[in-house]
Amino acid sequence: MMRNQFITDAYIGIGSNLQNPFFQVAGAMEQLALIEHSELHSFSSLYSSRPMGPPDQPPYVNAVAWLKTRLAVHPLLLKLQAIENEQGRTRDGERWGPRTLDLDILVYGNYSLKNQVLTVPHPGIKSREFVLYPLHEVNKNLMIPNLGAIHRLQPRCYANGLTRLSL
């Protein structure tokens, strides 16, 4: 496996709205902490959000994790997809449909990439409250490539019913 020799800050969006979403997100956090050549630096609070896609689905539980990793971006993506699969994720082709677990690479260092497999920074980052609010919580000083400072983006995004969950 090809590895990045440098430590990169990777921010991972986490979401679930099926099969006990709170449990799914907590399980994802545990699995993220076990990724080889990586360290779970911190994670946000859990948030409840409205679904983006079809309206006839349950609300989501969302969070963001901050990893420090030596993995290159594509091997990291494969690790995230393996965690999704272990937690019952099925890919039926329905865009923004309900799911047990969704793990997205939101930001990977200062890296910008766009191909058929992956776009980094995540293309929806600046308009999704369930990403911006927890991302701002984990790193208020984050600079997002091609978008700028998180502390300037987050206040411009309407909360849209986003609620921080108390544990």
Could you tell me the pLDDT band of residue 1, with boundaries at 50, 70 and 90?
very low
pLDDT tens-digit series, residues 71-90: 999 999 999 999 998 887 77
Cβ-based neighbour number of residue 147 at 10 Å: 14
Q: Determine whether 167 is exposed, middle or buried from the number of CB atoms within 10 Å of its CB (0-12, 13-18, 19+).
A: exposed
Domain layout of the chain by residue ranges = 3-164
What is the per-residue pLDDT for 34? 97
Nearest Cα residue to 11 out of 153, 93, 110: 110
Three-state DSSP class for 113? strand
Given a cut of 80, whether residue 93 has pLDDT beyond it is no
Topology of domain 3-164, per CATH? Answer: Alpha-Beta Plaits (3.30.70)
Residues marked active site are found at 89, 99, 102, 104
**pTM of the complete model beyond 0.85:** yes
Concatenated DSSP letters of 143-163: EETTTEEHHHHGGGS--TT-E
